[in-house]
Structure 1
Amino acid sequence: MTTIRRIQDADVAGKRVLVRVDFNVPMKDGQVSDATRLEAAIPTIEYLTEKGAKVVLLAHFGRPKGAVVPEMSLEPVCQPLADLLGEAVYFSTVVTGPDAVSATMDLAAGEVLLMENTRFDAGEEKNDPAFAAALAELGDLYVNDAFSAAHRAHGSTEGVTHHLPSYAGLALQREMDHLVAALESPKRPVIALVGGAKVSTKIELLQNLVKKVDTLFVGGGMANTLLYAQGIKVGVSLCERDLVDTARAILAVAEQSGCKIMLPSDVVLAKEFKPNPETRLAATSEVGEDEMILDCGPATVVALGQAIDKAATLIWNGPLGAFETPPFDTATVETARHAARASAEGELIAVAGGGDTVAALNQAGVAGDFTFISTAGGAFLEWMEGKTLPGVAAVSGEVELVA
């Protein structure tokens, strides 16, 4: 089971603590338009400042590709962050070198310094050892609090950890604790809901989940490929016919692993994909040659609700239909509300993640009732695929320090 080194175990008083945060925030007219990611970093920053640490923040913004792009500077983040902290936040226009080191040395205990965009240096995304060593000169120990960047082996997420004792911040701890509880040591039975457009984007996810969970429901366009692989006609629905063998292999592994696969038993059909077209409800086996499957039907939603009621843990990634286009959001919204009620009543551990999933749960108005929602995107997906994330391994005591 994955274990991580936590900042609560470190002596940070008087030390420069290099903290990797996710400040890749939405901007409009040079101003932060959504401070959610800043807010997520506050608990770790406040914990460290209250313990007397000198906090040095590392983050990336956008994709400057190793060049200094003024429009991608992190300086506009300073004031909103200071407002949230109720304390001044200093800014360094350089990330490495004598001036950067000097700025960290000038900090008093409890003060906060934000460094410029790490991606202004090409060494960041290349995980260049020299750049990582230069970053390490900014601190006495390192804390990763950006799970959303943990799947990238970059200088500020992995390379620097070869030079400094490394720990997990509070936000990363919360993320890992919930994901480990959901997939590595879950309360059973476990049901997973996986949706989205294409099987090709989630092959590894499906391959891993069928070995881990008790029931797997597949919805969205992905379900069409699995249905087609079982000889069911899907009309002109989105379907990756070239992945039939892959789909059959996944179904075979599920059977070998004792994982029950659930697919839609009834579907909402239309002859054109647009908002509020003429629709038809039919059994999955009754799709016309000129029709496309765009959502799960009510019988499927009822069956899925019953399966959720039997589960102790739910993992959800991806919508169950074309939820952005009404009325094809119905199955996703109704299932989300069902799961949210069970979670709110303490009957279900409900963990969800992925951009479309978060949007769907927000659309259903139930995001606050889930046990945990990950906004990490790619890192969440790779973790669910069973991959080792470089940023997590780095704070798990698995990285050897350079002598």
Structure 2
Amino acid sequence: MRLLSITFKNIKKFIQHKPFLFAFLVISQIVCVIVVFLVCGFVDNANRESKVIQEGANIFWINLTNYEELEYSISYNGENTYYIDSEGNVYTKEEIADLKCPEGYFSDVCYLKNFKPKMEEFIKFLGDNYSGIAIFGQVDDKVASISFLSGLSKDESEISKELSDFNNSNKNIMRISTSDCESVFGKKPVVGDKVNLGGQEYTISIIDEDIAGIDIPYNSIPDNFLINTIAVYTVEPCTPKEAAEISEKIKELFQTENFDTPEPRVLDEVQNIQLAYGITAAVIIMIILNISRVYSYVLTYRKKTFAIMNICGASKRKIFLIYLVELMLTLIVTFGIALLIFHTLILQPIAVSYPNFLISMTSQTYLIIFGIYFVVAVLIMSLTISRFISKSAVEMERSGD
């Protein structure tokens, strides 16, 4: 506590006697930190695809049906609106609507009453890394029946309040596009219209031309809903180890081998991030070396303070600690000011032209840069301070230091 008190008094005297020199020292550090942020961001951005906004995949696609037992495989070509089975037979949309799925096509988990408890267990297993689910299914066993989408998400950072309220609703409401409503229910949709789905009456609450199919809240899925596929979203992209652990849980709960796991970040991307930090570290070292020369110049203006402390019996170790703590305080304060300026005034304008800056400059990046900056600065400045206090006051006067 006494050491801090002496350090603050030392800084106060420095500001009173050399305010411009102190301001230059602080401003130069702030500018240097901002330059480091920019270097890190630009290096990382230069090694990314310009249109990639999201880093890594975080979706598990899980097929719940026994599609290997299907005697024919139906695929849909959206451009020409026709279906082809495994033997090459072509069906129109009207013809395929009368075909039924073979017996055993739907697994036990496809039925809603069996699916929900397993999904609750899976969400509990994912814990804080669970972001949301999207469920694709139908209300009968026809191969060509329209797919209905439903989901339950806790990540609502990028959706409107209207859609958030819709997703979490317990009411029988429906979100649909005009084209789907006309093709399925034979009428143009109007908000407030009642439509029948799986023996239940639903009210159209949102008309959205950007969706395909029909969207209903997770809590209002009809009992005869048959689930084909689910997409499970995690908060963060999974590591290969995490993906393997989640895959084992999927096999255990849903009794299926038919799922796709997220692709881990490619080696090039990892190397690019390492390159960004490597170049940032090199820039930091050069910057700190230059600042150390400035700080050495600052110390020469404080010979009298050093001499007084020396004459009063302060050991060189104590003087070293006083100057080092002073330096560490300025490092923390200047880094904080630089971070505030960069994050509030510089980051968003840059992100307009370089959107990947929003990916690069995360809390983790700031902490890594601060760690490198702080450690390198303390090591180099410690050498500068040691060199300064290694001489006596008389020696400094003789040498002209």
Normalising to structure 2: TM-score of the pair?
A: 0.26
Normalising to structure 1: TM-score of the pair?
A: 0.26
Which of these two proteins has the greater Rg computed from alpha carbons?
Answer: 2
**Structure with the greater relative contact order (CA < 8 A, sep ≥ 6): 1 or 2?**
2
Greater share of helix? 2
